Amino acid sequence: MNYEELLAFAGRNPMLSMAFVGLTVAILVTEVRRLMRGYKSIKPAELTQLMNAGGAVVVDLSAGTDFEKGHIAGSRNVQPAQFGPEHKLVVNAKQKPVVLVCRTGTASETAAKALKKAGFEQVHVLDGGLPAWQQAELPLVKGRN
């Protein structure tokens, strides 16, 4: 297919062409935003690798009652309103991997942005939150730490 044929196709199918351009722009904007946000989304398997390597700080931003019902072993629970770069769990972890976990991803993403803005180097968010961890059939611990 050459350029003239492509232009002819676009002229015969304006709605299809506009939809294609719109979807392409949406994908590009989404990818640029993902690259510019500064933190990395990781899958459950990547989180287990970070935890097994040692040194990863895993912060669960779920409500206390949800945390007690089930959480990732080794994670620490903090309420989103009380968490920030100066929190005792992460204040000395600017060079360590910090992984934020919540139920929906909203609290984790907000906290990740704050940590990156404060100069934390290795900020991660569990992609899909705790439901993704459970879907990967990884174990949860009940009760408080």
In CATH terms, the fold of domain 39-135 is Oxidized Rhodanese; domain 1 (3.40.250)
Query: Does residue 36 have a pLDDT over 70?
Result: no
- Reference 66, options 57, 55, 78; nearest CA is 78
Average pLDDT score over residue span 59-70: 93
Residue 19, pLDDT score: 92
Q: In this model, does residue 34 exceed pLDDT 70?
A: no
Q: Is 61 exposed, middle or buried (0-12, 13-18, 19+ CB in 10 A)?
A: buried
Residue of 19, 35, 57, 45 whose CA lies nearest to 135: 45
This prediction has a pTM of: 0.75
CA distance 97 to 73: 16
User: What distance in Å separates the CA atoms of residue 130 and residue 71, rounded to the nearest whole number?
Assistant: 8
Domain spans of the chain?
A: 3-35, 39-135
CA trace torsion 80, 86, 88, 92 (10° rounding): 130
List the Cα angle 132/50/32 in 5-degree steps. 65
pLDDT at 89 exceeding the cut of 90:
no
Q: Is the pLDDT of residue 93 over 90?
A: no
State the pLDDT at residue 143. 81
